[in-house]
């Protein structure tokens, strides 16, 4: 059974940096398309960044240039390096995984994912 566990969230100030991690167990990590989503109270869960099995990445416009998604297949771990954090980045961050995705368009749709972590809270104070 595939399990995803996120870590690294916390309370930071505007302009700070933070690294989130997501460890996948119970499946072949290298074969999964991996994505970070986030959700704030009262808002829909939204795409932050996504990475396919080849390491190709896409970002939401709101984080491009500030966030970097990466994966370390040898460690079964997905990362999200966040810099220049803003109060609007405050949210619960979730990692998601799926083996059947083939396009970035599909990867942007949260309903396409079979596996989710429990989330890690990021709070950015002004």
Q: Is the dihedral of CA 41, 122, 64, 117 positive or negative?
A: negative
Q: Encode pLDDT of 48-105 as tens digits.
A: 999 999 999 999 999 999 999 999 999 999 999 999 999 999 999 999 999 999 999 9
Per-residue confidence (pLDDT) for residue 56, from 0 to 100:
97
Residue 14 pLDDT level (bands cut at 50, 70, 90): very high
Per-residue confidence (pLDDT) for residue 42, from 0 to 100:
94
Find, among 30, 27, 32, 34, the residue nearest to 6 by Cα. Answer: 34
Q: Encode pLDDT of 95-120 as tens digits.
A: 999 999 999 999 999 999 999 999 99
Strand partners, 126: none
């Amino acid at each position: 059974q595939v399990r995803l566990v996120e870590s690294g969230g916390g309370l930071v100030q505007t302009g700070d940096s933070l690294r989130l991690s997501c460890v996948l167990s119970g499946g072949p990590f290298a074969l999964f398309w991996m994505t970070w989503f986030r959700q704030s109270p009262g808002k829909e869960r939204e795409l932050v960044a996504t990475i396919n099995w080849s390491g190709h990445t896409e970002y939401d416009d709101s984080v491009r240039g500030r966030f970097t998604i990466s994966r370390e297949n040898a460690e079964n771990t997905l990362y999200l390096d966040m810099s220049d954090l803003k109060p609007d980045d405050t949210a619960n961050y979730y990692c998601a995984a799926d083996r059947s995705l083939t396009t970035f368009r599909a990867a942007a749709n949260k309903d396409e994912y079979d596996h989710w972590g429990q989330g890690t809270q990021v709070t950015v104070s002004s």
